[in-house]
Chain A
Amino acid sequence: MSQHATAMPPATEMHQEPSYLAVSNVTKRFGAATVLDSLSLSVGRAEFVSLLGPSGCGKTTLLRLIAGLLAPDQGAIEVGGRDLTRVAAHKRNIGVVFQNYALFPHLTVAENIAYGLRAKGVPKAEQAKKVGDALGLVRMEAFADRAVTALSGGQQQRIAVARAVVVEPSLLLLDEPFSALDRKLRETMQIELRHILRNLGITSIFVTHDQDEALVMSDRIAVMNEGRIEHLGTPSEVYARPKSLYTMEFVGQSSRMGGVVKGSSEGLVEIDTPFGLVRAPGHFMSGSRVIVGVRPEAIAAGEGPAGEYNTVRGTVAEVIYFGSRTLLHFQTAQDGDRLHVELNRLPDQVAPGSAMTLRWRIDDSRVFPAPTETGR
Chain B
Amino acid sequence: MALFGSLFCRIVLGLVIAFLFMPILIVLTVSFSSSAVFAFPPPGFSLRWYASLGNADSMLQAVWLSSQIAALSTAISLVLGTLCAIAITRGMIPGAKAVATFMASPLMLPGLVLGIAFLQAARDFGLRDTYTTLLIAHVVITMPFIMRTVLASLSLFDFAMVDAARMLGRSYPAALWTVLVPNILPGFVSGGLFAFIASFDNYPVSIFLVDVRTKTLPIQLLNQVEMSPDPTVAAISALLILGTIVALIVCDRLVGLKRMASI
Whether A11 sits at the interface, judged by CB under 8 Å, is: no
Whether A58 sits at the interface, judged by CB under 8 Å, is: no
CB contact between B161 and one of A91, A104, A120, A164 (< 8 Å): that residue: A104
Closest Cβ–Cβ distance, residue A324 to chain B (whole Å): 39
Whether A316 sits at the interface, judged by CB under 8 Å, is: no
A119 near B169 with CB under 8 A, answer yes
Q: Given A104-B179, A106-B182, answer yes or no on A98-B171 (Cβ-Cβ < 8 Å).
A: no
Whether B109 sits at the interface, judged by CB under 8 Å, is: no
Q: Given A104-B179, A106-B183, answer yes or no on A167-B160 (Cβ-Cβ < 8 Å).
A: no
B168 near A102 with CB under 8 A, answer no
B164 near A98 with CB under 8 A, answer yes
Q: Give the contacts of A94-108 with B (CB-CB under 8 A).
A: 94-96, 98-100, 102-106
A93 to B170: give the CA distance in the assembly, Å.
11
A120 near B160 with CB under 8 A, answer no
What does DSSP make chain B's interface, helix, strand, loop or mixed?
helix
Whether B48 sits at the interface, judged by CB under 8 Å, is: no
Whether A333 sits at the interface, judged by CB under 8 Å, is: no
Interface size on A, residues (CB 8 A): 26
A100 near B166 with CB under 8 A, answer no
A residues in contact with B158, CB < 8 Å: 100, 102
Interface size on B, residues (CB 8 A): 19
Closest Cβ–Cβ distance, residue A63 to chain B (whole Å): 11
B168 near A99 with CB under 8 A, answer no
Whether A88 sits at the interface, judged by CB under 8 Å, is: yes
A115 to B170: give the CA distance in the assembly, Å.
9
A residues in contact with B183, CB < 8 Å: 104-106
A96 to B161: give the CA distance in the assembly, Å.
11
Closest Cβ–Cβ distance, residue A118 to chain B (whole Å): 9
Q: Which residues of A contact B (CB under 8 A)?
A: 67, 69, 88-96, 98-100, 102-106, 115-116, 119-120, 163-164, 167
CB<8 Å pairs between A and B, sample of 6:
A89-B163, A90-B169, A95-B167, A96-B167, A102-B163, A163-B164
Q: Which residues of B contact A (CB under 8 A)?
A: 158, 160-161, 163-172, 174-175, 178-179, 182-183
Other 11 A-B pairs with CB < 8 A, given A67-B163, A164-B167: A88-B171, A89-B167, A90-B168, A90-B172, A96-B164, A104-B165, A105-B183, A115-B165, A163-B164, A163-B168, A164-B168
